[in-house]
Structure 1
């Protein structure tokens, strides 16, 4: 039961879904860009889902298929390639969103996400850092930075994000996917990059 719950949490807060979930969450608050029309919000959400979720997911699935059917793929660092392909997809999302009249904030999200993925790709060559926790740390970093810049606070949102991070970290440990150091390092990495970019740039 415990492993089933951990797996469910891990899927719910998967890095491929979190950018879209994060935007949906932000759109429900008064913290930022609430003036966007419904149509623009839909365009942003769809662009985010395609570039940060669908395209990387297709690559992951195709990579697993090729690896299972070819011995030559055994030595290929599939996880590292996944991060790099995801980074390219994020950059594609940046290009799509840059055509919108309110692109600045979203451009920063995609470019920051690209930096996180490049960092994960480099680290994963030597160490199994947690991408789940990096994504949740990034979400907390961007929300906290926005709150500080706008002088607004939504403690409910902060609590939800922190709980999501705590439960996900627990899930990764229960499933044996990461050790405590990898969980904490992933969270700190994602948080640091997004918080610094949105708080000081």
Structure 2
């Protein structure tokens, strides 16, 4: 039962899905500008997932789960490029700064995850959830939304996803904590910009 829950949490809160959830939340709260959710989904989920599937087909990675640190470099590098391109596209479209800065911060977090992964296996799930918590905390402090309950809920989800990664033995506690700290710090730094 615990393993099934851990697998479910890891899948539902996959690092490539978290930006879409955040964009949806911002759009619901009218902080992102209507109709931008699909742009975020394209640049943070569809394109990186397509790149990973192509790498799998070419034999560059053995599995979409990429349990081996060495196989994470290409997918993370391509994801960082895609996230950055998405932030650039949204900026060019004149989208609300909260969404552009949030996506640019995510691009930086993915780029740092890529660089760290060259030497050490940091938790990308931790980076994604830490970043989500940091972005919502920054929005709460600056604009009074999404509400303290939303921030606390995401912090609880981040803890649950961290537990899931440990339960599945995908990471060590240090890798999960480092991922959460990286995501949180990059999100807060981006929001202060």
Same fold (TM over 0.5): yes
Deviations 1:167-199 (A, max 9, x none): 10111011110011100100000000111220x
Q: Which residue of structure 2 aligns with residue 50 of structure 1?
A: 42
Moved more, 167-176 or 155-164: 155-164
The unaligned stretches of length 5 or more in structure 2 are 63-67
2:29 pairs with 1:11: no
Q: Which residue of structure 2 aligns with residue 146 of structure 1?
A: 139
Q: 1:49 to 1:69 in 2, by over 3 A?
A: closer
Pairwise CA distance, 1:116: 0.5
Question: Which of 167, 182, 185 is residue 175 of structure 2 equivalent to?
Answer: 182
TM-score normalised over the length of structure 2: 0.88
TM-score normalised over the length of structure 1: 0.85
Would you say the 8 A contact 2:20–2:37 is kept in 1?
yes
Q: How does 1:43-192 map to 2 (within 5 A)?
A: 44-67=36-59, 77-151=70-144, 154-192=147-185
Would you say the 8 A contact 1:63–1:78 is kept in 2?
no
Would you say the 8 A contact 2:127–2:179 is kept in 1?
yes
| Secondary structure, aligned partner of 1:159 | helix
Pairwise CA distance, 1:104: 2.4
Q: What is the alpha-carbon distance in structure 2 between the residues aligned to residue 118 and residue 89 of structure 1? A: 11
Q: Which residue of structure 2 aligns with residue 24 of structure 1?
A: 24
Larger Rg belongs to:
1
Aligned pair count? 188
Q: 1:153 to 1:53 in 2, by over 3 A?
A: closer
Would you say the 8 A contact 2:127–2:180 is kept in 1?
yes
Pairwise CA distance, 1:91: 1.8
